[in-house]
Amino acid sequence: MPKWRVSAGLGFMLGVLAFVEWSHPKSPPFTGRWSQVISFFHTQFGAHGVAYFWAAFAVMLFLAASRQYRSGAHVRNTLGVGSGPL
């Protein structure tokens, strides 16, 4: 499976998570592994700060997928064309 599909899929999932956080924001106290990060974004950016965090992460993954796709990661060289001298 090409890398760009994985990055795009994760970006999509984080985009959905950002939407859910935007429509139903959590309130402190936060628990779990990401509690300090989530608490920081909630403190700095308000009730929708967590959604901003997930949305920014999703955008970064979509940009990475776009870059991977444009670099030719989606092209399979099954025929050996352009693989160099024989």
Domain boundaries, the chain: 3-73
DSSP letter, residue 32: S
Q: What is the pLDDT of residue 14?
A: 95
Query: Measured on CA atoms in the order 29, 21, 7, 70, is the torsion positive or negative?
Result: negative
pTM for the predicted model, two decimal places: 0.75
Rg (Cα) of the chain, in Å, rounded? 19
Write the CA distances from 84 to 58, 74, 76, 77, integer angstroms.
37, 19, 15, 12
Q: What is the pLDDT of residue 80?
A: 55
For the segment 35-86, what is each residue's pLDDT rounded down to a tens digit?
999 999 999 999 999 999 999 999 999 999 999 888 875 566 555 555 555 5
